[in-house]
Structure 1
């Protein structure tokens, strides 16, 4: 029995709460993972999991054993990666889950630069706007704008995500420019369906009390790119992150609505497992992202701020 392989299988089952998912992530058969966990249980003399047809839960001993084993597996993998770097370059697969709005149009150059520096690292990037637990779903890093779903996860900020209401000049010429947030109720609206506050929106203006409204959209979507295209079709007023809207604003296809009223901002953050704090490949990837945006406004926001179309200060969510 290879004790480390058995411990690694145990940790992966504990993290995913599934023998089948652990097997998929380890690229083994489910029976192989089951056998490794059973061998570990036989050696320890007690069950590590409570199993039913619907769930896999750690036993009392399993909970105590997991804390040390998760750190052991993470540290072992980190040491192996560091030794590979000493001998040559870091290698292996790095799985990244990322919000679609960030990756499309803004990330290809970042990925190229990372792989130019670390050519032996293979990137497996899945695009999805859902908020996930990267550990349970087998990712090394998740790039997302919402808070981590578990206390076992760490979040590191990469860059701010500002939002603005905007529409095509043709739509505004036909339907008029809103002068106050309350005027939005008289327009066809397209809004992001994943916003934590749902239909409740708060607008801030310097020297005035914040205005909080309930806005009922005519179109809700989990895709900010669909909302942008909806505005391009002169269909209504939409709320977009500036990283999606900036090109259209600079090119004249979109016009900011209510520029003097500011919405709260989010942060695009790299989320990863607490037990992987020192993991080598994820750390290299996250540090390259943070370094790219350190000490400056994102390149899509900077020209809008300089033109006076965006407030330079952040109102964080």
Structure 2
């Protein structure tokens, strides 16, 4: 029995709570996963899981065994990665889950630069707006604006994600520009469905604060669809500046109620503290962090032209 291999398999089953999912993530047959866990149980002399047709959960022995095993696997992989890095550069697969709104338009150049620096790291990128637990999803980290799904996960903020209401100049000439947040109720609104605040929208102007619940003419999980909807002169939409910035700077879209700020979110890298690919993951996160200052370039240009205030309101 390869003890480290069996221990790693045990940890993956415990994290995913599924023999089948562990097999899928490790790219091995389910029978191999079952065999490795059985060998480890025979070696320990006690069952590590309680199994049923629907649920796989840790036994008391498995629960006591898990933390040390998780640290052991993470440390072993980290040492191997650093040894490879010292000799010939880091190698292997790094799996990342990323928000659609961030990936489209801003991420390809970043990925290319990372691969130039580390050509032997193969990236697998899953793109969606879903909230995921990176451990259960089988990824090394998730780039998202949502809070971490578990207190056992680490969330490292990378840069703020500001939001603005905007519309085409043609739409505003035709329908009139809102003078206060409550005027938004008179317009066709396009809103993103995935913000942690849901339908609750808080606007701040100096010391004044207004909270509204708004109905959307178009509610979607695609910020890029919202931008296209606005560019069709269909209504006023709320967009993150990382998606709307280029269109606003070109004059195709115009910020509505610029003096009333919405709270911002942080785009964060969410990952397990005991990640198996800790060394490669550290390189990847540092690469992203170095590319964006605390004020990302799309916001910096809008601030310079007076389209955004410098001060940011944290979510």
Report the Cα distance in structure 2 between the residues aligned to 1:34 and 1:277, rounded to whole angstroms.
21
Secondary structure of 1:210's partner? strand
Q: Residue 149 of structure 1 aligns with which residue?
A: 149
Secondary structure of 2:106's partner? coil
Report the Cα distance in structure 2 between the residues aligned to 1:238 and 1:33, rounded to whole angstroms.
49
Q: Residue 76 of structure 1 aligns with which residue?
A: 76
Q: Residue 44 of structure 2 aligns with which residue?
A: 44
Q: TM-score, normalised by structure 2?
A: 0.98
Secondary structure of 2:96's partner? strand
Alignment of 1:58-77 (within 5 A): 58-77=58-77
Deviations 1:153-205 (A, max 9, x none): 10111111000000111111110000000000000001011122222111000
Is the CA contact (8 Å cut-off) linking 1:166 and 1:257 kept in structure 2? Answer: yes
Is the CA contact (8 Å cut-off) linking 1:202 and 1:212 kept in structure 2? Answer: yes
RMSD over aligned Cα atoms: 1.1
Deviations 1:21-51 (A, max 9, x none): 1001111100000010011111111111111
Extract unaligned runs of 5+ from structure 1: none
Secondary structure of 2:137's partner? coil
Matched, 1:236 2:235: yes
Alignment of 1:184-199 (within 5 A): 184-199=184-199
Deviations 1:99-126 (A, max 9, x none): 0000100011111111111010001111
Alignment of 1:201-240 (within 5 A): 201-206=201-206, 208-240=207-239
Is the CA contact (8 Å cut-off) linking 1:18 and 1:56 kept in structure 2? Answer: yes
Q: Residue 297 of structure 1 aligns with which residue?
A: 295
Extract unaligned runs of 5+ from structure 2: none
Report the Cα distance in structure 2 between the residues aligned to 1:62 and 1:192, rounded to whole angstroms.
42
Matched, 1:283 2:282: yes
Alignment of 1:174-189 (within 5 A): 174-189=174-189
Deviations 1:237-286 (A, max 9, x none): 00000000001101111010000000000000011102129810001000
